[in-house]
Amino acid sequence: MNDSSASRRRYLAGLGTAVTAGLAGCGSLLGGDGTPTGTDTGDEEDPDVGQIGSGREGREAPGGTPIAELPDLSGELDVYSGRGEALVGPLFSELEDIYPDFSVRPRYDGSTDLVNRILTEGSNAAADVFYSVNAGALGALAAEGRTLELPERVTSVVPDAYQDAEGRWIGTSGRARTIPYNTDRYDESDIPTDVLAFPDDADLAGSTGWAPVYGSFQAFVTAMRVLNDRETTLSWLNGMQDAGVQQYGDEFAIAQAIADGELGAGFANHYYTLRVLDARPDAPLDIAFTEGDAGAIFNVAGASVVDTAGEDRELAENFVRHLLSAEAQEYFATTTFEYPMIPGVEPVQPGSIDLPTIDQLNPPEGLDLSQLADLGPTLEVMREAGLNV
């Protein structure tokens, strides 16, 4: 035990060095050179150690609580992850390297698939933690009564707006709804600041894109249904179709189509634009925001402790707390370009983009993210508008 904690201290010291040094000029998203993370050799000079949080060139050391100050993790944890292995796999491995007695058994699938799976498995689900890409799936699992209340030591870290009021789930990183647009065709002032004005905007007609089957878009329509009403939503959907909106399968494709000039503008989560710009810094692409309406909702990826955690409950809670550590938050900001959930870690802005910080955003008042789980009526109104969802 002494041995491992001594080596852990050395490891963390190395990690801290890496964070403050900020491995400069890394081409890879992980900040490494593509080599797998070495196991802990106790060598403080090993540049491969501690890729997490070693982010991008010129980043300040992140604020928040570092892993070194959090309770140790030990035991085996079953995580049902709707977030992709490419993103969270390295993070899990990193935690396993830091804590020799800790291991994660991840099961990766779509977030909704995993909720359906937990519900189907009933009391024999293997899940300790459910990790989701959106609040809708978290809210659904909570509404079905399959989550345990998170302790104050976890919930106190994140602003109230980004977690469930009853502590049944918590946001771990955020994504803003945006209007990506092609800068060769429009100025920012050409993009309406009211989402309801889009169908009647003659400038945009025939050159906007949306992805009706994509979860984040359906969350946006759900928000419109909740904030405005069903009729407004129906006429907005119909109006957009009358204005010749183009249909896409996902929002990354929309951001790319706008960069290519195939579209003029569209509806997409903020990080798709950042990902395109990260790969193509000169693309004629920027983002605009609507103000205080459904088009400006701020959704989160997050986690909950599943009611089948049993004796792993405390481990599960501590694990979720680790997702909110300084290093993990820095990792999300620098790899997926998401918004960190804790004050003190800034979002990343590749290219020439001027991304507002979390407190400069203008999300709608009076929307509880848990309400985004109510998808049924949304699908109905979308079908009534003739969309095949």
Give the residues lining the site for another protein (CB under 8 A). Answer: 27-30, 32, 34-37, 78, 84-87, 89-90, 93, 105-110, 112-113, 115-117, 119-122, 124-126, 137, 140-141, 143-144, 213, 215, 218, 247, 249, 252, 257, 260, 262, 275, 279, 373-376, 379, 383, 386-389
Nearer to another protein, 324 or 385 (CB): 385
End-to-end CA distance of the chain: give it in Å, rounded: 55
- Measured from the CB of residue 3, what is the shortest distance to another protein in angstroms? 27
Q: Exposed, middle or buried by CB within 10 Å (0-12, 13-18, 19+), for 335?
A: buried
**Contact (CB, 8 A) for 131 and 115:** no
- Measured from the CB of residue 379, what is the shortest distance to another protein in angstroms? 6
Provide the strand spans (E) within the chain. Answer: 75-81, 102-108, 129-132, 147-148, 170-182, 208-210, 246-247, 265-266, 268-269, 285-288, 298-306, 339-340
- Measured from the CB of residue 382, what is the shortest distance to another protein in angstroms? 9
Nearer to another protein, 41 or 93 (CB): 93
Element (H, E) at 10: helix 2-21
Cα Rg, the chain, nearest whole Å: 21
Nearer to another protein, 39 or 247 (CB): 247
Phi-psi region of 75 (alpha: psi -120 to 50; beta: other; left: phi over 0): left
**Contact (CB, 8 A) for 175 and 271:** yes
- Measured from the CB of residue 17, what is the shortest distance to another protein in angstroms? 21
Nearer to another protein, 30 or 324 (CB): 30
Nearer to another protein, 6 or 119 (CB): 119
- Measured from the CB of residue 98, what is the shortest distance to another protein in angstroms? 17
- Measured from the CB of residue 312, what is the shortest distance to another protein in angstroms? 12
- Measured from the CB of residue 386, what is the shortest distance to another protein in angstroms? 7
Nearer to another protein, 121 or 149 (CB): 121
Nearer to another protein, 260 or 291 (CB): 260
Long-range contacts of 144-151 (CB under 8 A, 24+ apart): 144/115, 144/119, 145/307, 146/118, 146/119, 146/306, 146/307, 146/308, 147/304, 147/305, 147/306, 147/307, 148/304, 148/305, 148/306, 148/307, 148/309, 148/313, 150/304, 150/305, 150/317, 150/320, 151/317
